[in-house]
Amino acid sequence: MKYIITVGVILCLLLITSCEKGVDSPRGFSLPQGNAELGKQVFIKYQCNGCHQLDDIAQPEDAEFAIKLGGKKTKVKTYAELLTSVINPSHKFARGYPLAEIQQDGKSKMKVFNDVMTVSELINLVTFIQPHYELLPYKTTNYQYYSYR
């Protein structure tokens, strides 16, 4: 019995550490600080409110969806997940909605903006949305220690 538990613990540890250090892990991921006010404008420019509820931003009458952004009941738990849900929406699906409604053939019905949105817009957008989630903290680049080579 003891043996089984020890092996179990080792396997778990291996799994956890290998995930963290794997090339696919979000470890070391960091974007510069964005501007939330500009991010709000990005949200409106790309009509995210055509499918999402956020703050007091009104939804149009013909809104396709009313998927709430922010709050606790969501799969978005980290900064990396928030970014991923914008640039790769099919990676995970929002909780609390019938799958048949929000996806088709395994793909999210969310519009992908990767070919039109600039990186600066994305950074500002995520900075605007972030405070609406209780996300695990992430480290932005500390320019004090930033060295140019």
Binding positions for ligand HEC, rule: CB under 6 A: 46-48, 50-52, 64-65, 67, 69, 74-76, 82, 85-86, 89, 93-94, 102, 108-111, 113, 125
The residue with tokens 């900064």 is 79
- In this complex, which beta carbon is closest to ligand HEC, that of residue 2 or of residue 73? 73
Q: How far is the CB of 27 from ligand HEC (least distance, A)?
A: 21
**Helix, coil or strand: residue 138:** coil
**Helix, coil or strand: residue 81:** helix
Distance CA(11)–CA(93), nearest Å, equals 29
Distance CA(146)–CA(32), nearest Å, equals 12
- In this complex, which beta carbon is closest to ligand HEC, that of residue 83 or of residue 142? 83
- Bridge partners of 71? 133
Q: How far is the CB of 147 from ligand HEC (least distance, A)?
A: 33
Distance CA(132)–CA(69), nearest Å, equals 7
- In this complex, which beta carbon is closest to ligand HEC, that of residue 18 or of residue 120? 120
- In this complex, which beta carbon is closest to ligand HEC, that of residue 69 or of residue 80? 69
Q: How far is the CB of 72 from ligand HEC (least distance, A)?
A: 10
Q: How far is the CB of 15 from ligand HEC (least distance, A)?
A: 24
Distance CA(18)–CA(12), nearest Å, equals 10
